[in-house]
Amino acid sequence: MEGLVETKPAVPRVEPRRSNSGRVWRRLVRQPVTVAAGLVLVIIFVVGALVPQYAPSQANINLTDQWRNHPPQLSGWHVLGTNVIGKDILLQMLLALHTNEQSALAATLVATVLGVALGGIAGFRGGWVDALLMRITDLLGVFPLLMVFLAAYTYFNPVTAWKAALVLACFLWIPVARVVRAEISSLREREFVQAELSLGASDRRIFFRHLLPNASGTIIIAATSLLAQVFLLEAMLDFLQLGVSSAIQPTIGNLIGEGQQGVFQFGEGWWTWASPAVLLVLILVCINLVGDGLSDALRPPRDR
């Protein structure tokens, strides 16, 4: 009809979809404690990784008698003092940090991969596969870790950091597998997974394109918690002289143990064990703070 103007229907404005990683990053930035702990942890790990390249070659050479068991001093090279045989505490701590860092990261990586693989298969398949894998997990979980390391200490003697990491990884995947199994079992019943199944999607596509990405938050939190646990267990075993010996590689645990032993036997000062202990506590606190921040940032919006 004349006089009527044809109008086009209004097209609704589509807002750009924000990525999940951007949402997580914004939540992390709003947590200054988590950011500070993460920066401190990154600095510690970078320093530990670069120590072998830049540490003085005299780090393991005994000094003269006048520098043995020397207290900390603000001026000079021995900021944290020396031990009873004249080794610089700061250099020994940096070398120990490098050893523990490599061992803890390797054990955490292997344990996380094993836990995700076995827990994911158990949660996705269900049925007898789930029952079998979980019974194996329960069986391995009853072994006391201290007894396992006593056997490993006898078999692998001398124990190196890599051997200790392998033994830890063989048992620490168990809590990761249980958490991942529960998460995958819950996700498997969601509508989007059932829709993919009805459309004939393969198991591989469902697992790697849908289940595993949606469980990534749980996996990251479990790996962060496991990293702190590995650091603590390594230090405890080395302190009890069931792990790496200081004659092979310096570690934070054997530095603390030798420092305390020297206080009672040789009259060493408190600085020989206090400095490595403070470093261990700082690492554990930073990892736990980062883990708490990630747990809050990765939580779905409906659960906040």
Please say whether the dihedral angle defined by the alpha carbons of residues 23, 29, 33 and 38, taken in this order, is positive or negative: positive
Give the pLDDT mean for 213-242.
Answer: 86
52: which residues sit within 8 A by CB, 6+ positions away? 95, 98
User: Where is average pLDDT lowest: 30-39, 51-60, 158-167, 202-211?
Assistant: 51-60
**Mean pLDDT on 65-82:** 66
Q: Please tell me whether residue 82 adopts helix, strand or coil conformation.
A: strand
Q: Which pLDDT band holds residue 112 (cuts at 50, 70, 90)?
A: very high
> What would the pLDDT profile of 3-26 be if each residue is shown by its tens digit?
444 554 444 443 444 456 667 677
Give this prediction's pTM. Answer: 0.80
pLDDT value at position 302? 52
Give the residue with greater pLDDT, 56 vs 244. Answer: 244
Sort 150 into a burial class: Cβ within 10 Å, 0-12 / 13-18 / 19+. middle
Using CA atoms, how far apart are residues 299 and 211, in angstroms rounded to an integer? 16
Q: Which of 46-55, 83-92, 104-113, 144-153 has the highest mean pLDDT?
A: 104-113
Q: What is the pLDDT of residue 114?
A: 92
Mean pLDDT of 248-266: 75
pLDDT for residue 67: 62
Domains and CATH numbers, the chain: 22-48+84-303 (1.10.3720.10)
pLDDT of residue 241: 79
Burial 10-37 (b: 16+ CB within 10 A, else e): eeeeeeeeeeeeeebeebbeebeebeeb
Give the model confidence (pLDDT) of 147-161 as tens digits: 777 777 777 777 788
